[in-house]
Amino acid sequence: MEHRLEVNGQPKIEKMYQTILTELEKGTLVITINRPDKMNALNKDVITELGQAIDEVYRNDEIKSVIITGAGEKAFVAGADISEFIGLDAGAGAELAKKGQDLVFDKIENCPKPVVAAVNGFSLGGGCELAMACHFRLASANARFGQPEVNLGLIPGYGGTQRLTQLVGKGKAMEMIMSGDMVAADEAKAIGLVNHVVTLEELLPKTKEILQKIQLKAPVAVAKVIACVNEAAKSDPNGFNHEIDRFGACFTTEDMKEGTNAFIEKRKPVFKGK
Ligand code: COA
């Protein structure tokens, strides 16, 4: 079900989900995980609905960029819902991890439109993994990041061992995941886990401001940047060759002609995403 309304002349879409809120304004879809009484923990319903919302991002041309955040002032996401772990065997545990990675985390990472985490508090376990699946992260000063699974006799299962290592390097990732210790927002910035630390009040406005700037750039080129940088992060041996191919493919786009003509004509380009 979908509600369409106009706010200040801007289209706004609100889908009716049970565990997340979605709001589209000026081309940016804000997805808010909405279980504040459970620290926005990722249960099966959240994973399913997040997957549906991301599918909508791929499908819907009105959505140009995405912000993922958490409801309330305490938590972004405090992890997978631990109550759903009880009684699982090896197969069910692996299935839970695979389903989450397939339905949500990998789809976010590979999304051709920018997806940014606005981390507004505890970002632990699956929460830290969700933030890391996004293309980059902003944090409020009260944010705390960590992979505390070892406290439960577990390891990260939504990509944490891989993405934390890509982002902060092997030594720091080893220490964080083996100790389960949290790092505060400033340290997260110092180690490269987040790009900006701002106040809680500034978090969404600042994230939206960055995305508005990106939305003025050529969307096909932005999508190719995401694909190339993702390959670099994974040390893909074909990364350099794919960059060459994608660079070449840009020359076939209307946006490349518009961008180069606009430069020569000393005017601002207007990109169509074609
Ligand atoms: N799964 C399920 N429920 C969770 C949860 C999670 N990952 N994280 C928090 N909650 C629930 C708590 O059980 C509590 O529910 P209740 O009110 O019904 O008892 C509620 O959220 C509030 O959490 P609480 O622990 O009382 O808040 P706090 O401010 O004292 O502590 C945290 C906040 C985030 C430090 C603490 O909740 C925590 O350590 N959570 C688990 C983090 C974790 O191990 N994540 C990795 C999971 S793989």
Average pLDDT over the chain, rounded to an integer: 95
Sign of the CA dihedral 31, 79, 77, 194?
negative
Other CB atoms within a 10 A radius of the CB of residue 132 amount to 27
Compute, in angstroms, the gap from residue 86 CA to the centroid of ligand 1: 15
3-state secondary structure of 143: coil
What percent of the residues of the chain are helix, what percent strand, and what percent coil, each to the nearest 5?
50, 20, 30
Q: What is the CA radius of gyration of the chain?
A: 19
Dump pLDDT digits (tens) for 119-178.
999 999 999 999 999 999 999 999 999 999 999 999 999 999 999 999 999 999 999 999
3-state secondary structure of 195: coil
The mean pLDDT of 261-270, rounded to a whole number, is 95
Answer with the residue of higher pLDDT: 16 or 249. 249
Distance CA 204, CA 141 (A): 13
Ligand 1 atom index nearest CA of 81:
1
Catalytic residue among 49, 56, 109, 149: 149
Residue nearest to atom 22 of ligand 1 (CA): 38
Dump pLDDT digits (tens) for 182-202.
999 999 999 999 999 999 999
Separation in Å, CA 179 to CA 39, 143, 150, 159, 183: 22, 19, 7, 18, 11
Compute, in angstroms, the gap from residue 7 CA to the centroid of ligand 1: 36
Please count the residues of the chain: 274
Compute, in angstroms, the gap from residue 55 CA to the centroid of ligand 1: 29
Percent of the chain scored above 70 by pLDDT? 95
Distance CA 50, CA 181 (A): 27
Catalytic residue among 2, 129, 201, 202: 129
Tell me, what DSSP letter sits at residue 238? Answer: T
What is the per-residue pLDDT for 5?
45
* pLDDT at residue 85 is higher than 90: yes
Backbone angles phi, psi at 79, to 5 degrees: 115, 180
What is the per-residue pLDDT for 21?
97
Compute, in angstroms, the gap from residue 41 CA to the centroid of ligand 1: 8
The mean pLDDT of 239-256, rounded to a whole number, is 97
Please, which residues bridge with residue 114 across strands? none
Dump pLDDT digits (tens) for 24-41.
999 999 999 999 999 999
Write out the H or E segment, with its range, that includes residue 186: helix 185-190
What is the per-residue pLDDT for 14?
61
* pLDDT at residue 15 is higher than 80: no
Answer with the residue of higher pLDDT: 3 or 210. 210
Q: Does domain 2-215 have CATH number 3.90.226.10?
A: yes
What is the per-residue pLDDT for 192?
97
The mean pLDDT of 203-217, rounded to a whole number, is 98
Q: Is 129 annotated as catalytic? A: yes
pTM of the full structure? 0.95
The string of DSSP letters for 2-43 reads EEEEEETTEEEEEE--SSEEEEEETTEEEEEE--GGGTT-B-
Instruction: Give the residue, out of 39, 77, 144, 149, with the most ligand 1 atoms within 8 A of its beta carbon, to mutate for a pocket test.
Output: 39
Residue nearest to atom 8 of ligand 1 (CA): 78
Write out the H or E segment, with its range, that includes residue 77: strand 75-77
Please, which residues bridge with residue 251 across strands? none
3-state secondary structure of 137: strand
Residue nearest to atom 44 of ligand 1 (CA): 148
Answer with the residue of higher pLDDT: 40 or 12. 40
What is the per-residue pLDDT for 10?
56
* pLDDT at residue 213 is higher than 70: yes
Ligand 1 atom index nearest CA of 180:
44
274 neighbors 253 (Cβ within 8 angstroms): yes
What is the per-residue pLDDT for 1?
43
* pLDDT at residue 13 is higher than 80: no
Sign of the CA dihedral 83, 85, 88, 91?
positive
Backbone angles phi, psi at 22, to 5 degrees: -130, 140
Structure tokens at 62: 């009105």
Compute, in angstroms, the gap from residue 107 CA to the centroid of ligand 1: 26
Residue nearest to atom 27 of ligand 1 (CA): 39
* pLDDT at residue 7 is higher than 80: no
What is the per-residue pLDDT for 16?
84
Q: Is 201 annotated as catalytic? A: no
Q: What residues does ligand 1 touch, defined as CB less than 6 Å away?
A: 38-39, 41, 78-83, 122, 124-125, 148-149, 152
């339905």: which residue's tokens?
A: 103
What is the per-residue pLDDT for 8?
54
